[in-house]
Amino acid sequence: MDSNKKFMRKAIALSLKNIENGGGPFAAVIVKEGKIIATGANRVTANTDPTAHAEVNAIRKAAKKLGTFDLSGCEIYTSCEPCPMCLGAVYWAHLDKMYYGNTKADAKNIGFDDSFIYDEIELKPENRRLQSVQLLPDEAIKAFESWVNTTDKIDY
Query: pLDDT tens across 32-58, in order?
Result: 999 999 999 999 999 999 999 999 999
Q: Determine the Cα–Cα distance for residues 58 and 50; give it in Å rounded to an integer.
A: 15
Selecting among 20, 55, 81, 120, the annotated active-site residue is: 55
H-assigned helices in the chain? 2-20, 44-47, 54-66, 84-92, 104-109, 115-122, 137-149
Q: Is 81 a catalytic residue?
A: no
Asked whether residue 155 is assigned to any structural domain, the reply reads no
Residue 45 domain flag: yes
Q: Please state, in angstroms and rounded to a whole number, the distance separating the CA atoms of residues 115 and 95.
A: 24
Residue 133 lies in a domain: yes
pLDDT digits (tens, 9 = 90+) for 98-134: 999 999 999 999 999 999 999 999 999 999 999 998 9
In a domain, 25, yes or no: yes
Instruction: Report if residue 96 sits inside a domain.
Output: yes
Residue 86 lies in a domain: yes
156 located within any domain: no
Q: Answer yes or no: is 34 within a domain.
A: yes
CATH at 3: 3.40.140.10
> Model pTM?
0.93
Range of the domain at 9: 1-149
Give the count of alpha carbons within 13 A of 8, CB side only. 13
What's the number of domains the chain is made of? 1
